[in-house]
Chain A
Amino acid sequence: MPSRRTLLKTAAAASVGIAAWRPGFAQTKADIVIGAAHPMTGFMSFAGVASNHALGDYIAWRNQNGGVLGHRIRYVGEDSAYKVDQGVAVVKKMIASDKPSFIYLDGTPLSKAVARDVLSTQMIMTGGFSSSEALLDQKAYPHHFLSGPTFGATHEILMEYIGRVAKASGSAPRIALVYTDQEFGNEAIPHSKARAQKLGLPIVQEVVTKPTGVDVTSEVAKLRRARPDIVIFQGYIMNPVPEFVRQMREAGLTAQVMSTTYGLDRIMYEALAKNGERLTGVMPYSYGYDTESKTMATIREYVAKARPQQDSISVFYIHAWLTGMIFCEVAERCIKAGKPLTMPNMKAALESIRDWDTGGLTGLLVDLSSHQIKTGRIYSYDPATRRMEPASGWIRV
């Protein structure tokens, strides 16, 4: 009967041995690792679940179609719950164990918090859900890019469209801005006002609401006094816009209702359509049901096979798919040039993307030299087809 001591010694030795054993394996072409921190739970879950599916789908599809020049792509998707603490822990763990070359981040706070860690590796490029121009600072975030226009650029596109319509009709419409007291809402406003002023469009009222505001009666009263012709909502996914618009109509306001990007998705236009409203606004991408775009057809085909119960493709999905495309394009350009995937090389490859065809996802050819894609199109709700249909050509600012 071995004594307790020898038993303990053997166990200790065995555990050290197991910990030290590293299975060796041979690899042909190195995998490209794309990591992601999505807000799969929490109040942004509708965005996180969609973007997780989108990145996973794109990478699976790309692997089925040859990967990146023969390199397989590995996807590591984690949940950040839109909390900085959890997101940072998840990203650090990913950097340590999976060593990704690309990471998709869930928002501006997380992107800022992990910037130092990501930069210090000099091997990672990040993209993500944020549209904040703060992340375009090339000194602080040279490794980051936006897959669309910033909040400000989006509004500039909208103002351009309103300006064109005004010029055609001869009179300048009175514009009111209703926005939330958050980055999603208020970052765009100075740009909006600057471009409107340049185009001679009067901004007659600004109304700020809480992001989770429920009682909007006073805000509507304030708006009513200004008698605007156009009301632009910025920073809302849906609530409380339908109730706001209902009260506006009761107050006798016949203003046109406009919104942008994440506030122009199905959940918003359908809620407004239920009350007979026709939403108009800027979208930097085609919609999921677009028939002109080759890429959109590919997406629809893939989703129908992989997840037949998903009946629509949201803007969050499209955004993440596009980001996946950009990641792979950057990797492809680096590999073609024979350069290793280091941050300076990837940044150079990113900035070399001009006139890149995304198969109709973004309408115009993509120019990422400024780390953002400053194009968009105006869509308007059509009650006949019950969808958003294009109301203008693609605009680049």
Chain B
Amino acid sequence: MNDVHLVLMILFPLLLLIGVPIYAALGLTGFAAAYVTGSPMAVASQSILNGIDKFPLLAIPAFIFAGNLMEQGGITQSIVRVFRHLLGHIPGSLGIVTIFSCMFFAAISGSGPGAAAAVGGIMIPAMLRYGYPPAYAAATVATGGTLGVLIPPSNPMILYGIIANTSIRDLFVAGVVPGILVGFALAGVAYLYAKWLGIKAIDRQESDGTLWRVLWEGKAALAMPGIILGGIYSGFFTPVEASVVAVVYAMFVGALVNRSLTFKGLNIALHRTHMISGALMIVVATSTLFARIITLERIPQILVETFSNATDNTLLLLLMINILLLVVGCFMETLSAIIILGPVLVPLIDSFGVDKTHFGIILILNIEIAFLTPPLGVNLFVAAQIAGIKIEKMMLATLPFILILLVMLALITLVPELSLWLPRTLK
């Protein structure tokens, strides 16, 4: 064990334990590691800046802004009214609606935290308004948001496709069936959990007008996913561009259609966007420096070598890789984890005869779970920030969702056809 290992194993956990902001804990650990290795410290600050200089990341603040504009512009209320009419008689309906909305947004955003922020900005205030426990509201949004990376388009899939030299189109298609399966499983958990918590159904009588009237009045809000999805799949704009289309559309509907978006509301939306995205993106930035130190110390390679020496059984290897990914995912930002582990793991699974597309879906599912595991569970932070609760408080509420995600991970690992059937059929 060298000095850097000591820094990583003592300083970082200690800083987190005493409640130092995560960005400062990651950054200080990175600077300390650079110092003990004698690396130029200026390179550490370059790594932090380069950490956020990635084009796909632009979608995150834009979707956060769009979500806040939708709340201020009365679009949230329209959506909630429609779903109250459709699903209000089911206990925990807003939890189910959150999961399905996240599935919908997942097909727009391609980013886990982006989906959580966009849907969370709408659904968490709605759930709180209807008396749902804040921990349940935040946990549902954080979990639903994870679908953003599994259902295409998905930024991590693009990155993995490039690293693994495999078809991105195949990866996108392979994510459809697991994405739908996981979405329905999470909606089931949201329903059962709400029932267990004793959340009552929303009385349909509270709502005014017929379903058709509610649908007609909410048409501008309901058209939004259609415009975004249609725009992406027709090739009119990219997912990052879609995020700013969402901003412009939310402004247009809020200000001119609903006439609810005032300058005060715009100011509040801007403030919230800066606070959430500022707090979130600096963690992504500093985690790049942290990931760099881990890479230079060859920690992922050492772990992988240990696993590959331990067995020649494919299933056991996948099980061990899953465990490794789950552990690494706790401490490493998503894109960094793919960049670091992808080149190491792909040759390993390839030598065991595992399909690279299938492994891509397994990797993405692990990333989904990593979004929910502290200390770097980004979706936890997004949802906790929006709900205004502490991460510790919502972690317990997230457990049932994590358990079902682990079950789905095992199922998708054991049954490759769930991922590979659709790409093979469409070939």
Mutual binders A and B: no
